[in-house]
Amino acid sequence: GAVVSQHPSRVICKSGTSVKIECRSLDFQATTMFWYRQFPKQSLMLMATSNEGSKATYEQGVEKDKFLINHASLTLSTLTVTSAHPEDSSFYICSARDPKNTEAFFGQGTRLTVV
Amino acid sequence: KQEVTQIPAALSVPEGENLVLNCSFTDSAIYNLQWFRQDPGKGLTSLLLIQSSQREQTSGRLNASLDKSSGRSTLYIAASQPGDSATYLCASSGSARQLTFGSGTQLTVLP
């Protein structure tokens, strides 16, 4: 299947700093990517839909000024958690669809810990 | 708003058993349904994708079925192995292509 690469896999940062997470589709072009958040023992919750060349669409309750999404190319979307706080600690996962068969593929996830 | 439910939340079986995981969804107007596997602290691995026009898909020891009219999907695992231990997630895809996930079934296969 198609490959989606997410980096970094783990990051620890201090409160008040910003963290950038990258999501790349390695062998296909993705005009749309999705960012999810997963708390321990819970399922994935969609945060936003990242659209290449345009603004991201955020789900209700997700602060767009806190979770900045940039989708500057057909193979890269970034999520920046700005002014991170301990409550932002979570597992963040990106996803992209292979346009050939509509199957969704996921990155390896990023474990963010804010101390 | 689509809601996806998975039953049971956790399941423990001895090695070699066949088992069924259940997934139900409230809105039958889905584009497709996908089953994933998630190992602890890892991302998701796609197992099977069933298009809305299909009834089932098979891959190795895995078979997934889809009944849109009743809003149900099942994942059948044959001859389970300890390596199958993981959390299994189902997700429906709507017209906007984003996925709505169930809460998952945590499977433990005992050697």
**Residues A94-110 pLDDT 10s:** 999 877 657 788 999 99
pLDDT band at B57 (very low <50, low <70, confident <90, very high): very high
pLDDT of residue A29: 87
By Cβ distance, the residue of A1, A43, A106 closest to B43 is A106
Judged by CB atoms closer than 8 Å, whether chains meet at B101 and A109 is answered as no
Q: Is B46 on the interface with A (CB under 8 A)?
A: yes
Query: Looking at beta carbons, which residues of chain B come within 8 Å of A32?
Result: 97
Percent of chain B with pLDDT over 70: 99
Residue B16 has pLDDT above 70, yes or no: yes
pLDDT of residue A61: 93
Judged by CB atoms closer than 8 Å, whether chains meet at B44 and A43 is answered as no
Residue A79 has pLDDT above 90, yes or no: yes
pLDDT (mean) for A39-43: 84
Give the contacts of B100 (CB within 8 A, at least 6 positions apart): A46, B2, B3, B4, B25, B91, B92, B93, B94
pLDDT of residue A60: 93
pLDDT (mean) for B30-51: 92
By Cβ distance, the residue of B32, B98, B103 closest to A34 is B98
Residue A23 half-sphere exposure, CB side, CA atoms within 13 Å? 34
CB A104 within 8 A of CB A95: yes
pLDDT of residue A100: 67
- Smallest CA-to-CA distance from B66 within B96, B28, B103 is with B28
Contacting B residues, span 82-111, partner chain A, CB-CB under 8 Å:
89, 91, 93, 96-104
Average pLDDT over chain B, rounded to an integer: 94
CB A93 within 8 A of CB A38: yes
Residue type, A50: S
Judged by CB atoms closer than 8 Å, whether chains meet at A43 and B89 is answered as yes
Query: Looking at beta carbons, which residues of chain A come within 8 Å of B99?
Result: 34, 44, 46, 95, 104
Distance of residue B45 Cα from the nearest chain A Cα, in angstroms: 7
Residue B26 has pLDDT above 90, yes or no: yes
CB A102 within 8 A of CB A95: no
Tell me whether strands B105-110 and A44-51 are parallel, antiparallel or unpaired: unpaired
**Best residue in B37, B44, B49, B100 to probe A by mutation, most A CBs within 10 Å?**
B44
Render pLDDT for A58-68 as a digit per residue (tens, 0 to 9).
999 999 999 99
Residue A51 has pLDDT above 90, yes or no: no
Render pLDDT for B69-106 as a digit per residue (tens, 0 to 9).
999 999 999 999 999 999 999 999 887 677 899 999 99
Residue type, A98: D
Dihedral over alpha carbons A73, A49, A86, A107 (to 10 degrees): -60
